[in-house]
Amino acid sequence: MKRLSPGQRWVIGLGAFALVCLVVGIVAIAVGVANGNAMCGPFDEDGVLEACPGDTSGVVWGSVLGVVGLLHLGLTGLAGALVWTSSPTIGPKPVERPAPVAGATHRVFSYGTLRQPLVQESLFGDHVPTEPDALPGWRLDWVTITDPDVIRTSGSDRHPILRRGTPEDRVDGSSLVLGYEWQLRAVDDYEVADYQRIEVTLASGTTAWVYVAAEDV
């Protein structure tokens, strides 16, 4: 579901205010008319109650509110039409994605947050193909993230990080298939200074990029 722009929300708020003015005005007119037609006096010679009109100022104020509400509603409708038709041009332009280059496919081994659907959507605009794999000779550790953008994207300030291990160590994860150079650059921007990208050979025999502890490189 698409979110409404600030301008669209502003128009909806003005429209709601105009409707409130119109409804209150109609109620005030009705009350004023009822007060003006009140019959509460003694019976006249024909046996009919005599009129005893009350306060009829509600008709005046109700008419004013009604007119204000109608004018407000009309102007809001005009403003809404302008905002809704112009929102594609005043809103943020879609990011232009370059066409894939033949032979430029990159594989990135992920053992942490890069496998999360929300992180992939934030970085790539969609999910990317993933294949289960593993990386021998490395072990998992943890690092505390302080970058607010990374924390907001991943939902946590505690991320896993790879450190060199023994030949018996093995880290399970997934191989992300990136068909664009900008996707690899997006991952570079996402990973903080604690990580460094190196090229490794996975358990499957395929070559991939992986982000490990910078101090272990």
Mean pLDDT in runs of 10 for the chain (217 residues)? 59 74 73 62 55 59 67 70 55 50 79 92 92 96 92 90 95 95 93 94 96 93
DSSP 205: S
Record the pTM.
0.53
Position 92 scores a pLDDT of 45
Position 21 scores a pLDDT of 73
Position 91 scores a pLDDT of 44
Position 27 scores a pLDDT of 74
**Residues 6 or more apart from 39 whose CB is under 8 A from it?**
49, 50, 51, 52
Position 94 scores a pLDDT of 46
Residue 78 burial (CB < 10 Å; 0-12/13-18/19+)? exposed
CA 117 to chain centre: 16
Tell me the sheet residues that pair with 158: 144
Position 105 scores a pLDDT of 86
Position 204 scores a pLDDT of 96
Question: Could you tell me which of 188, 122, 126 has the C-alpha nearest to residue 152?
Answer: 122
Position 7 scores a pLDDT of 64
